[in-house]
């Protein structure tokens, strides 16, 4: 890859913030800017602001991860009104390459490049050669993975967070019934419970059982703060149940992908739980999978504590794309 392919634009676009950076040489990433999406009419306007502020010229290649499914030229965000045409952005900014990938697909591509110091291991032994799994609750439940190939890692783009919720205890069965009634749904996905809004639903469920029932409904940040501080037994119970059920979701993904290369946890929630998560029943539930418990026991789980992992993934996506024969 010759020097004229730099600088390269890397982006991580969420519903609240758009993060942009420049890769000026292999692995050298700087000029990070975080732009609130509400301050810009669209993606093109935010990108124009970034390029103007940084004085960037001669840009030829760009890759971004964005919080929505990407199925064609037209990209429309799920939890934000931004929408755009990939071809129009490429033309407007004079780009040779403009890769737009789902945010968890890009995050998956960061896994081989994450420094060990930015990974917290939760159980297991050492990773083996094979698939890697990625899962992470936030506003939604992101799911992806990496499959090894002779040409490099192949990222998976899917909607695994929408699989049917799998209760494993009578309490979780009762929670599922409560959730269906509360939400007015017949189909209950894992994402309905293992997300920020899911934590709020779990808290309401526990209140319905008589745990501090007079407490007003709370939002996820308040529940997390009280649970982590140990100042509210109901909040602590909600976090514990959340982590336990997340163990089931992570185990299901590991079994589906054969993720002997490790299970990685991203998203905006679990990394904030710190030592609470490590001490929670997550790992116990992860391994408690009947006849396959011995298969799961050595698989390491890693919590990602990198500040901008998606930018590493966007760089990897460009490396792989530009290494392909161009037609």
Which residue, 84, 81, 78, is CA-closest to 98? 84
Pair 240, 125 in one domain: yes
pLDDT in tens, 208-232: 998 777 777 899 999 999 999 999 9
- In the prediction, which pLDDT does 80 show? 85
- The Cβ-side half-sphere exposure at 214, using a 13 Å CA radius, reads 0
The residue segments making up the domain with residue 80 are: 3-106+308-323
Pair 251, 131 in one domain: yes
pLDDT in tens, 287-306: 999 999 999 999 999 999 99
pLDDT in tens, 268-283: 899 999 999 999 999 9
Report the CATH number at residue 224. Answer: 3.40.367.20
Pair 300, 179 in one domain: yes
Tokens of 18: 């758009």
- In the prediction, which pLDDT does 5 show? 84
Pair 279, 317 in one domain: no
Which residue, 73, 88, 7, 3, is CA-closest to 42? 88
Q: Are strands 301-304 and 119-121 parallel, antiparallel or unpaired?
A: antiparallel
- Which phi and psi angles does 100 have, rounded to 5°? -125, 115
pLDDT in tens, 14-30: 888 999 999 999 989 99
Report the CATH number at residue 87. Answer: 3.30.420.40
DSSP assignments along 198-246, one per residue:
HHHHHHHHHHHTTSSTTSPP--HHHHHHHHHHT--HHHHHHHHHHHHHH
- In the prediction, which pLDDT does 327 show? 41
- In the prediction, which pLDDT does 180 show? 97
Pair 165, 125 in one domain: yes
Pair 168, 98 in one domain: no
Residue carrying the six token digits 């469920």? 205
Pair 132, 70 in one domain: no
Tokens of 55: 């004085």
Pair 263, 120 in one domain: yes
Pair 138, 59 in one domain: no
Tell whether 14 is in a known binding site: yes
pLDDT in tens, 159-181: 899 999 999 999 999 999 999 99
Residues 6+ apart with CB under 8 A from 246: 137, 194, 270, 282
User: CB of 45 within 8 A of CB of 61?
Assistant: no
Tell whether 12 is in a known binding site: yes
- In the prediction, which pLDDT does 35 show? 96
The CA R_g of the chain, rounded to the nearest whole Å, is: 21
How far the first Cα of the chain sits from its last, in Å, is 16
Residue 123, classed as helix, strand or coil, is: coil
User: CB of 89 within 8 A of CB of 99?
Assistant: no
Alpha helices of 55-112 — where are they, by DSSP H?
Answer: 86-92, 103-110
User: CB of 236 within 8 A of CB of 150?
Assistant: no
Tell whether 313 is in a known binding site: no
The model's confidence at residue 3, banded by pLDDT at 50, 70 and 90, is: low
Q: What is the pTM of this model?
A: 0.89
- In the prediction, which pLDDT does 4 show? 59
Considering its fold, how many domains does the chain have in total? 2
CB atoms < 10 A from the CB of 206, how many? Answer: 22
pLDDT in tens, 101-128: 999 999 999 999 999 999 999 999 999 9
Task: For residues 165 and 208, give the distance between their C-alpha atoms in angstroms, rounded to a whole number.
Answer: 20
pLDDT in tens, 68-94: 889 999 999 977 899 999 999 999 999
- In the prediction, which pLDDT does 324 show? 64
Mean pLDDT of the chain: 93
Counting residues of the chain whose pLDDT is more than 90, the rounded percentage is 83
Pair 119, 244 in one domain: yes
Pair 8, 63 in one domain: yes
- In the prediction, which pLDDT does 325 show? 54
Pair 126, 29 in one domain: no
- Which phi and psi angles does 76 have, rounded to 5°? -130, 120
- In the prediction, which pLDDT does 16 show? 84
Task: For residues 166 and 242, give the distance between their C-alpha atoms in angstroms, rounded to a whole number.
Answer: 13
């Amino acid at each position: 890859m010759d020097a004229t392919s730099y600088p390269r634009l890397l982006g991580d676009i969420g519903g609240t913030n758009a993060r942009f950076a420049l890769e000026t040489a292999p692995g050298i990433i700087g000029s990070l800017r975080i732009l609130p999406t509400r301050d810009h009419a669209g993606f093109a306007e935010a990108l124009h602001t970034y390029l103007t502020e940084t004085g960037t010229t001669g840009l030829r290649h760009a890759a971004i991860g964005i919080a929505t499914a990407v199925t064609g030229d037209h990209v429309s965000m799920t939890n934000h009104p931004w929408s755009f045409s990939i071809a129009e952005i490429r033309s407007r900014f004079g780009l040779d390459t403009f890769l737009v990938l789902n945010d968890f697909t890009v995050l998956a591509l960061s896994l081989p490049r994450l420094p060990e110091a930015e990974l917290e291991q939760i159980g297991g032994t050492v990773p083996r050669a094979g698939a890697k799994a990625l899962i992470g609750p936030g506003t939604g439940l992101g799911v992806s993975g990496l499959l090894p190939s002779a040409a490099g890692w192949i990222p998976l783009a899917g909607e695994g967070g929408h699989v049917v919720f799998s209760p494993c205890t009578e309490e979780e069965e009762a929670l599922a019934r409560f959730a269906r009634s509360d939400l007015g749904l017949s189909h209950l996905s894992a994402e309905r419970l293992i997300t920020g809004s899911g934590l709020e639903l779990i808290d309401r469920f526990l209140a319905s059982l008589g745990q501090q029932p007079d407490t007003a409904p709370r939002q996820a940040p308040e529940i997390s703060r009280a649970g982590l501080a140990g100042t509210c037994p109901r909040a602590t119970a909600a976090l514990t149940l959340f982590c336990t059920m997340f163990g089931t979701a992570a185990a299901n993904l590991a079994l589906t992908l054969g993720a002997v290369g490790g299970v990685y946890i991203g998203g905006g929630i679990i990394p904030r739980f710190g030592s609470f998560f490590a001490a929670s029943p997550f790992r116990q539930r992860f391994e408690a999978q009947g006849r396959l418990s011995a298969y799961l026991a050595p698989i390491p789980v890693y919590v990602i504590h990198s500040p901008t992992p998606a930018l590493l993934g966007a760089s990897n996506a460009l490396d792989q794309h530009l290494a392909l024969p161009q037609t």
